Amino acid sequence: MQDFAGIAEKLKRSEENIYNLNSEIERFFEESDYPVLPENDRKTLLKAIEYHKNLVIPPRFSVLAGETIHHLRSCFVSVA
């Protein structure tokens, strides 16, 4: 009989990583100069777009996303 306890823990950890990544992305944008893109001011919108194009994405985002993908992928390997 297949033991699914390990799979459940990997899914739980994936959910934690997704939550953490989402929280960090929200904070990243909230702390930026343009947390919301202006809709009615084209000049400011273009400045905001240029600003966001040049923002450096924290490496931690890719680490959390990578861990999530790894845990989800390993769930498939566990049942195969």
The whole domain housing 33 covers 5-79
> What are 28-62's pLDDT values in tens digits?
999 999 999 888 999 999 999 999 999 999 999 99
Q: Are 44 and 58 in contact (CB under 8 A)?
A: no
Q: What's residue 1's pLDDT?
A: 45
Asked if the model's pLDDT at residue 18 lies above 90, the reply is yes
Asked if the model's pLDDT at residue 79 lies above 70, the reply is no
Q: What's residue 59's pLDDT?
A: 95
Domains contained in the chain, number: 1
Q: What's residue 2's pLDDT?
A: 60
Mean pLDDT of the region 2-29 = 89
